[in-house]
Amino acid sequence: MSVSQPQTVEEIKARNKELIAEVLQVYPEKTAKRRAKHLNVHEAGKSDCGVKSNLKSVPGVMTIRGCAYAGSKGVVWGPIKDMIHISHGPVGCGQYSWAARRNYYIGTTGIDTFVTMQFTSDFQEKDIVFGGDKKLAKIMDEIQELFPLNNGITVQSECPIGLIGDDIEAVSKVKSKEYDGKTIVPVRCEGFRGVSQSLGHHIANDAVRDWVFDKLDPNAPPRFEPSDYDVAIIGDYNIGGDAWSSRILLEEMGLRVIAQWSGDGSLAELEATPKAKLNVLHCYRSMNYISRHMEEKYGIPWCEYNFFGP
């Protein structure tokens, strides 16, 4: 027996309202009241259906969009393949960022590349009460012992870190000195800092500026022989291998790609970027901050580009 489908606009609207009511029934009363603001049926003559959006994520509540932590760890820093990125906080955020994206890379996972591995401090109640600084230091020691070919570490802070005031900068400085100057980057990307992941991009860019670029010795000899055709691909995450294709096209045009980040990127490529003659920017939203900084400090122009489409 076939079920009759709604035919008129009024019937369709009535059906959709019933579906929303059915969805809200499974929530506790307080949560249902809050969620009802995000579900509605469009009314004729109105510009939209009146749902609430562009609000800050609630710490500890999964949302359909990312947070500042997701913007830093999941987008900008996570694809840097030869660094280990610690999700400092409860295990859930690290699990979410670990499973949510595919950033293709070349290397041996667990030996010299670590993109698809999850490293977390797995915060428990006692860590909230007593702090996680000592735990973070211990994790870094374990990383050094278990993965000696890593070229650096980042600390991606989750919401509780900002709420309890863990001094991730102090731990990073101490351990960097202990490991003979290894690059260790503390990133203050607690999820509650931004409405969406966009602020996380900005925070991550600032961390590249402060903890990578500003640590470079301006008098050190370059690691490669510069040319007039050196470019850096900025803001391409190699989701599905697209950065590899773009790189081939640029090099066939006669340019030399000295860095691409962060998809299939490395710490050495980050460090080489201030020597580029031009930055070609793919994802403007996530990397315009660092591109503008390099233009101001190093005189490197930048332009937007992509090879998508016919």
CB 102 within 8 A of CB 71: no
- Asked whether the whole model's pTM tops 0.95, one would answer no
Active-site choice (35, 101, 209, 256): 101
Q: What is the pLDDT of residues 42-85, one digit of tens each?
A: 777 776 666 766 666 666 565 666 788 989 998 999 999 999 99
Q: What is the pLDDT of residues 277-295, one digit of tens each?
A: 999 999 988 999 999 999 9
The verdict on whether 85 is a catalytic residue reads: no
Percentage of the chain beyond pLDDT 90 is 63
Active-site choice (88, 188, 193, 201): 201
**Is pLDDT of 308 > 80?**
no
Q: Mapping DSSP to helix (H, G, I), strand (E, B) and coil, where does residue 19 land?
A: helix
The verdict on whether 67 is a catalytic residue reads: yes
The verdict on whether 70 is a catalytic residue reads: yes
Mean pLDDT of 128-139: 93
Class (C level, CATH) for 230-304: alpha beta
Q: What is the pLDDT of residues 96-118, one digit of tens each?
A: 777 667 889 999 999 999 999 99
Q: Mapping DSSP to helix (H, G, I), strand (E, B) and coil, where does residue 260 land?
A: strand
Q: How far apart are the first and last CA of the chain?
A: 47
Active-site choice (67, 159, 232, 259): 67
- Tell me, which fold does domain 68-215 have in CATH? Rossmann fold (3.40.50)
The verdict on whether 256 is a catalytic residue reads: no
Task: Place 40 in a pLDDT band, splitting at 50, 70 and 90.
Answer: confident
Percentage of the chain beyond pLDDT 70 is 90
Sheet holding 278-281, edge to edge: 256-262, 230-236, 278-281, 302-304
Task: Place 6 in a pLDDT band, splitting at 50, 70 and 90.
Answer: low
Q: What pLDDT is attached to residue 197?
A: 84
Q: What is the pLDDT of residues 198-247, one digit of tens each?
A: 899 999 999 999 999 999 988 888 788 999 999 999 999 998 888 999 99
